[in-house]
């Protein structure tokens, strides 16, 4: 057997035992796996984390915590920029709308889901049947276990698994460093290596008003990894596209990605300019700006990947090989449908999709209305429509098992800045008009006789949805209240709801469902050839990855496997401590207290993607040796292909956290809690 | 006669004598006009200025001077950021490639140009005939006068005038303030009011190694304007679109502007990120970044204007009225061709144009290759092709009368930064692929088997065109040298030249020439109805505008007609002297020396647009009272309609220049030269 690469974001119910044994001589035990599952945490705001004490302490990235930190800030109190440390447990700050999920079990329900989809059904019927049975499974599970229950689509439709999570709604901020320490190097260093970032934050989960007692947690390593160590990453990779067909990838390259990049750049320019107005605007815009810039850089890397002819050629070859194998086999069973059909079906679907993809994204996904207020308004309008229906027949986000999470967001008391909402809305309304043209009926309807700037102003001035009580009134008042509402944002959401739903329907019936059916067949072919040795694409569910701690070479220069705290000072000083390479005063003043040789960030080959931010990085003993926070730019093509030639994920070293907590932040209580030291 | 608005960028050979007399009781004399013409200066890098002393001293904007200032800087010497003052004339810094033009005369050549275009000619023949006769006129004029001679197309083809300019190639930098004083408020305050910018710079023109003695110059006013004063602006507005048909404007709204904005945003994100790497990268990128951000903001304002239904309705009404009048008249002469045809011809042309506009812009205009090196490479390739032809048959930019200016740019010793060239090229190559799709034959050809990042690296590493001597070798070696060249950038320019020329041909024959012919007919109709009371659209040629110095109201707040030096300190201090609201140390240290009540920037209703930057603002006596540098955001729709309700242009007040030169910059020699004081 040849030594395989470290590729794979593995399912916890189908772990890579063989590979680990063969390549690393490591025995993956059930106990190890159970701890990995039950100590790993999903941040529903879009990241990962892990329990690191018996008293509910959780570590994640600062940039994953940013949304919560921002919502705990207000004019004159900028916790994002200034950082935060709870002196005592009583000082820990309850987050207004943060939900954490911890996976408890996984069950394969593929047979039950597929049994409801019959060959004689139209795509519309099949989509409805599938949605219904998934809803039923979730509802039954919720009733039976009380756990959050999600049916997850794997292998693009090749398998369906039921994931059950314990939920935490009472989550409190314990520690966050200054943004300039966490995000040292800003957009410049994002997706680069070597790095020097303290991209960590600590929360504590509470239950019934007391610190949670998780069944499992990761012990904090005092030494951390050295070069060539085997490490594991347990986190929630968001999306990969490795099992998509070439036709789908070319569609992404030529249609979806250019649209997405154009959209992100328009937001980045507008929000960036807003932030320049002064410190308060900057505070308000910080997380939006980081999110948009980060996405722009990630998608730019994806586009470079798909524009690389060698990657396209490799995909093409892979596909033709799989097809060849199958065609040979088919000669033995010539009555089966030609496997080539499944690929050409997906190709045809892209042509269909191209005809309304932008309208679907703008109206239904909501790219035309990049505004919290609009999102809230739409939920009030749709809840009034959906709640009277049986759960299984609703739009999927309004199913019973999701309502608690939805309402946490909807009724969040986090303040919204009117001026920022206006800028975001103006920018996205303008993007709508740019994309479809000023004379398009949808644009004319949305703009209602004004230009985007005036329309955004009118909408933000004409809504009362800043007030949580108003939101509750509308939701609790149901259809009557919504129909009677004169709120400008609600009126807009109502005005375009029929069109938006129509695009969603077309998407589900003409794209999603036929793609699932074709991919399910392709998955069968792949399973036949490779068994389960290919992991499914990422789905923002818990996965296990593994790799080797290792530096790499670029243009002849050898980059070390880790950087040091001293390196951060060197870089900052060489660049005159100027943004984005400025270190906080606390760091500059405290430099002499630090052991500057302490390892700071390190690189490994394990297979990660966006969503893995904040993932625990573990050693063989299952101790936490780092917190994953980024990939380098060579890793940006991982959406499509895995490589370990130069691609690395980057983590904060466990020792750097202890060193800075103790010597710069006087956070001795956390250090003690992590290390059990006295 | 009703009192007319202050609309109009008037031709100096067709000035608004009547309007000025009626509305302002001002007699525009020939002497006043001659000084206005011969003391006004065009910066061929894209702006305006004026002679302000008998010894060739010229004032313009800092942001117009920026290109030259940047080219005089180098690693470790950042004149853009730090500012510059020549202590003596010997210290004045010769600019490597700055050309200034001063208009000497205008001659109407419409009849001669149109005489060559015959009804029986195809558009291709007509375009060639027109290009040929324009070339002949210019060549004759150059031979006869030695002056730069340009035939200018006015009224979109309704008239042709010959402009003759005195050229200055030896231009030296005398004074520039720090970028943070000149561009105080940065992108945030750009196109806004109230403003606080010292957006001025001084150059001196030289002839035969000695300061030039211009025939005319503007005296520097010691008092400046007060509210309600009549002022004039003499400058070179670049482009307006007020006489374009509605169909053309809708095409701009739905096709051209979205494309342009998407392109600019991609460059802004990439160059902005490059600049963040450190002080040297920031220095290199400063002018590109300012130019791109400024254009993005200007075009965004244009788009908001065209998305305003009231502006579209007004344009529509205007057009229908003009047509109605003509149709009524036509009933008297029913055999003439229906005037409606001219409008529908232009509409049809837009549909044609849409079919290849992006390809034309990317390949021929060069949006796919945003790189100085590529521009140089293309010139070497095309000069080899074009120079052997008679001047009148060449591509227009290679006509004899333009070669001196072209070579000034081509052989400029200004240094080019390889890393910045690479980033710009990568970004524009990526934009090419985003726009046309990765599989488009042009994209495949241009990328030559690499992704845009790798291709840009290969091209920049594989060219020797950084070296001026190499450029001269290629140009002087002609076709033989170019054919033998292995330079990567030259090979690229050659590889796509046939396609690029083909798109240019299609543009000239299918868009430009038929539009000219239709607009010429529309211009006749307009002249019949309104005479010459409507000025032609801007063409980066000298125009005279006039207006009233006046504040305005926004949302009930009354904005004063001028700001003060003290206001700059107040704003900066309120925003913690943080970029882009940081004042230079010299200002902070020198605050107490200043009369803080000195007027700083002022607003007027005169009709300006991009290209007017640096324009002298004059009083009735023809004295310089200000230097125009911006419009407010209400003025961004001026490309399409003039309004004076809130729209204003903004100028640096003459007194603020004297006050700061004397008290902050110790530039007493300049003050003396400007005021004649001892």
Give pLDDT, residue B3.
56
- Residue in A258, A270, A314, A423 to test binding to B, most B beta-carbons within 10 Å: A258
Give pLDDT, residue A531.
82
CA distance B674 to chain A (A): 36
Contact indicator for A346, A518 with CB cutoff of 8 Å = yes
- Residue in B250, B300, B633 to test binding to A, most A beta-carbons within 10 Å: B300
Contact indicator for A249, B434 with CB cutoff of 8 Å = no
Give pLDDT, residue A1.
36
Contact indicator for A48, A58 with CB cutoff of 8 Å = no
**DSSP for B178-247, written as a single string:** -HHHHTTTHHHHTT-SS------EEEEEEETTEE---S--PPBPSS---TT-EEEEEE------TTS-HH
A162 half-sphere exposure, CB direction, 13 A CA radius: 23
CA A400 to chain centre: 23
Angle of CA points B130, B135, B140, to nearest 5°: 130
Angle of CA points A410, A412, A413, to nearest 5°: 140
What does the alpha-carbon distance between residue A242 and residue A638 come to, in Å, rounded to a whole number?
8
- Mean residue pLDDT of chain A comes to 95
Q: What is the pTM of this model?
A: 0.96
Residue A13, both tokens? 């119910």
What does the alpha-carbon distance between residue A21 and residue B357 come to, in Å, rounded to a whole number?
59
**Long-range residue pairs from A575-579, CB within 8 A, at least 24 positions apart, any chain:** A575/B278, A575/B279, A576/B279, A578/B278, A578/B279, A579/A180, A579/A186, A579/B276
Contact indicator for A16, A544 with CB cutoff of 8 Å = yes
CA distance A597 to chain B (A): 25
B142 half-sphere exposure, CB direction, 13 A CA radius: 18
Q: Which residues of B touch A277 (CB under 8 A)?
A: 188
β A552-554/A557-559 pair status? antiparallel
- What residues are paired with B593 via a beta bridge? none
DSSP class of residue A637 equals: G
Residue B221, both tokens? 């006013």
Per-residue pLDDT of B574-590, as tens digits, reads 999 999 999 999 999 99
Give pLDDT, residue A330.
67
- What residues are paired with B41 via a beta bridge? B49
Contact indicator for A245, A312 with CB cutoff of 8 Å = no
Stated as kind and residue range, the H or E segment containing B280 is: helix B279-306
Q: Determine the longest span between alpha carbons in chain A, in angstroms.
A: 77
Torsion of CA A33, A34, A39, A44, to 10 degrees: 90
Quote the ipTM score: 0.95
Per-residue pLDDT of A509-543, as tens digits, reads 999 999 999 999 999 998 888 888 899 999 999 99
For B276, the closest of A188, A265, A447 (CB atoms) is A188
Length of chain A: 678
What does the alpha-carbon distance between residue B661 and residue B181 come to, in Å, rounded to a whole number?
12
Euclidean distance between the first and the last CA atom of chain A, given in angstroms as a whole number: 49
What average pLDDT score do residues A264-271 get?
97
Give pLDDT, residue A381.
98
CA distance A636 to chain B (A): 13
Are the beta carbons of B435 and A580 separated by less than 8 Å? no
CA distance A278 to chain B (A): 6
Give pLDDT, residue A334.
65
Nearest alpha-carbon partner for B648 in B562, B566, B533, B537: B562
Taking 50 as the pLDDT cut, the residues of chain B under it are 1-2, 678
Are the beta carbons of B434 and A188 separated by less than 8 Å? no
Give pLDDT, residue A401.
86
Are the beta carbons of B447 and A576 separated by less than 8 Å? no
Are the beta carbons of A439 and B578 separated by less than 8 Å? no
What average pLDDT score do residues A86-98 get?
97
Per-residue pLDDT of A325-369, as tens digits, reads 777 776 666 666 788 899 999 999 999 999 999 999 999 999 999
Give pLDDT, residue B678.
42
Q: Which residues of B touch A295 (CB under 8 A)?
A: none
Q: Which residues of B touch A307 (CB under 8 A)?
A: 430, 433, 438, 447, 451-452
Coil, strand or helix: which one is B651?
A: strand
Contact indicator for B612, B224 with CB cutoff of 8 Å = no
Are the beta carbons of B430 and A303 separated by less than 8 Å? yes
| C-alpha dist (Å) from residue B482 to B396, B488, B655 | 21, 12, 54
Euclidean distance between the first and the last CA atom of chain B, given in angstroms as a whole number: 49
Q: Which residues of B touch A454 (CB under 8 A)?
A: 308
Are the beta carbons of B437 and A254 separated by less than 8 Å? yes
CA distance A395 to chain B (A): 34
What does the alpha-carbon distance between residue B193 and residue B178 come to, in Å, rounded to a whole number?
21
Q: Determine the longest span between alpha carbons in chain B, in angstroms.
A: 77
Give pLDDT, residue A176.
98
For residue A260, the chain B residue with the least C-alpha distance is B434
Is the link from the previous residue into B194 a cis peptide, with omega within 30 of 0? Answer: yes
- The sign of the CA dihedral B214, B215, B220, B226 is negative
DSSP class of residue A77 equals: B
CA distance A262 to chain B (A): 6
Angle of CA points B379, B382, B384, to nearest 5°: 110
Nearest alpha-carbon partner for B418 in B458, B451, B378: B458
Are the beta carbons of B447 and A307 separated by less than 8 Å? yes
Are the beta carbons of B304 and A447 separated by less than 8 Å? no
- Residue in B258, B271, B446 to test binding to A, most A beta-carbons within 10 Å: B258
Per-residue pLDDT of A156-178, as tens digits, reads 999 999 999 999 999 999 999 99
Q: Which residues of B touch A187 (CB under 8 A)?
A: 273, 276
Q: pLDDT at residue A18 above 80?
A: yes
Query: What beta strand segments (E) does B534-623 contain?
Result: 543-548, 552-554, 557-559, 562-564, 599-604, 616-618
In terms of phi and psi (left: phi > 0; alpha: psi -120 to 50; beta: otherwise), the region of B306 is alpha
What average pLDDT score do residues A95-100 get?
96
Q: Which residues of A touch B447 (CB under 8 A)?
A: 307, 309
User: What's chain A's Rg over C-alpha atoms?
Assistant: 25
Domains contained in chain A, CATH given:
10-99+169-237+542-675 (2.40.10.120)
CA distance B255 to chain A (A): 8
Phi/psi for B200 (5° steps) reads -135, 155
CA distance A86 to chain B (A): 29
Torsion of CA B134, B138, B139, B142, to 10 degrees: 180
Q: Which residues of B touch A452 (CB under 8 A)?
A: 304, 307
Per-residue pLDDT of A105-142, as tens digits, reads 999 999 999 999 998 999 999 999 999 999 999 999 99
Q: Confidence class of residue A466 from pLDDT cuts 50, 70 and 90?
A: very high
For B269, the closest of A268, A306, A454 (CB atoms) is A268
Q: pLDDT at residue A580 above 50?
A: yes
What does the alpha-carbon distance between residue A203 and residue A176 come to, in Å, rounded to a whole number?
9
- What residues are paired with A57 via a beta bridge? A204
What does the alpha-carbon distance between residue B638 and residue B642 come to, in Å, rounded to a whole number?
5
């Amino acid at each position: 057997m040849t030594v395989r690469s470290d590729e794979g974001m593995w399912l916890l119910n189908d772990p890579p035992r063989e590979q680990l044994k063969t390549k690393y001589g490591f025995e993956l035990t059930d106990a190890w796996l159970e701890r990995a599952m039950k100590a790993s945490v999903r941040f529903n705001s879009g990241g990962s984390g892990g329990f690191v004490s018996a008293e509910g302490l959780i570590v994640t990235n600062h940039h994953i915590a940013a949304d919560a930190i921002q919502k705990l800030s207000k004019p004159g109190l900028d916790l994002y920029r200034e950082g935060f440390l709870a002196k005592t447990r009583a000082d820990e700050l309850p987050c207004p709308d943060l939900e954490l999920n911890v996976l408890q079990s996984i069950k394969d329900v593929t047979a039950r889901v597929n049994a409801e989809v019959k060959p004689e059904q139209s795509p519309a019927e099949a989509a409805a049947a599938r949605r219904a049975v998934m809803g039923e499974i979730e509802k039954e599970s919720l009733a039976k276990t009380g756990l959050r229950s999600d049916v997850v689509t794997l292998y693009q439709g090749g398998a369906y698994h039921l994931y059950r999570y314990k939920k935490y709604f009472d989550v409190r901020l314990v520690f966050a460093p200054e943004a300039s320490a966490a995000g040292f190097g800003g957009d410049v260093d994002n997706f680069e290596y070597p790095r020097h970032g303290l991209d960590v934050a600590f929360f504590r989960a509470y239950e019934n008003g007391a610190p949670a007692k998780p069944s499992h947690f990761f012990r904090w390593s005092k030494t951390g990894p050295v070069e060539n160590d085997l490490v594991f990453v347990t986190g929630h990779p968001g999306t990969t596209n490795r099992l998509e067909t070439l036709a789908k990838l070319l569609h992404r390259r030529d249609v979806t990605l250019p649209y997405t990049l154009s959209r992100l750049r328009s937001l980045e320019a507008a929000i960036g300019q807003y932030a320049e107005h002064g410190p308060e605007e900057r505070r308000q815009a910080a997380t939006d700006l980081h999110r948009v810039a980060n996405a722009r850089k990630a998608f730019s890397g994806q586009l470079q990947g798909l524009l690389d002819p060698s990657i396209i050629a490799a995909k093409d070859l892979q596909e033709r090989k799989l097809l060849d194998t199958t065609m040979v086999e088919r000669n033995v069973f010539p009555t089966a449908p030609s496997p080539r059909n499944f690929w050409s079906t997906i190709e045809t679907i892209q042509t269909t999709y191209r005809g309304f993809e932008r309208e679907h994204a703008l109206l239904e996904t909501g790219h035309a209305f990049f505004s919290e207020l609009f999102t809230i308004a739409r939920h009030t309008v749709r809840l009034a429509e959906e709640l009277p229906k049986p759960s299984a027949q609703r739009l999927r986000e309004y199913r019973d098992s999701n309502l608690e999470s939805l309402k946490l967001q909807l009724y969040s008391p986090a303040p919204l800045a009117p001026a920022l909402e206006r800028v975001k809305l103006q920018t996205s309304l303008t993007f709508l008009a740019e994309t479809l043209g000023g004379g398009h009926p949808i644009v004319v309807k949305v703009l209602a006789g004004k230009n985007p700037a005036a329309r955004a102003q009118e909408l933000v001035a004409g809504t009362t949805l800043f007030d949580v009580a108003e939101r509750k009134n509308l939701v609790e008042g149901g259809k009557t209240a919504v129909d009677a509402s004169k709120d400008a944002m609600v009126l807009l959401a109502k005005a375009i709801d029929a069109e938006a739903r129509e695009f969603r329907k077309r998407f589900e019936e003409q794209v999603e469902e036929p793609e699932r059916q074709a991919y399910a067949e392709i998955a069968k072919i792949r399973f036949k050839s490779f068994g389960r040795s290919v992991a499914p694409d990422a789905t923002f569910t818990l996965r296990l990855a593994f790799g080797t701690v290792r530096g790499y070479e670029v243009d002849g220069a050898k980059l070390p496997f880790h950087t040091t705290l001293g390196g951060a000072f060197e870089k900052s000083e060489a660049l005159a401590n100027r943004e984005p390479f400025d270190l906080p005063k606390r760091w500059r003043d405290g430099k002499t207290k630090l052991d500057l040789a302490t390892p700071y960030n390190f690189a490994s080959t394990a297979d990660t993607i966006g969503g893995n931010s904040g993932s625990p990085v573990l050693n063989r003993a299952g101790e936490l040796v780092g917190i994953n926070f980024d990939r380098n730019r060579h890793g940006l093509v991982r959406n499509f292909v895995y490589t370990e030639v130069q691609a690395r994920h980057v983590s904060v070293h466990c020792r750097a956290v202890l060193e800075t907590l103790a010597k710069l932040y006087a956070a001795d209580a956390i250090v003690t809690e992590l290390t059990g030291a006295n």
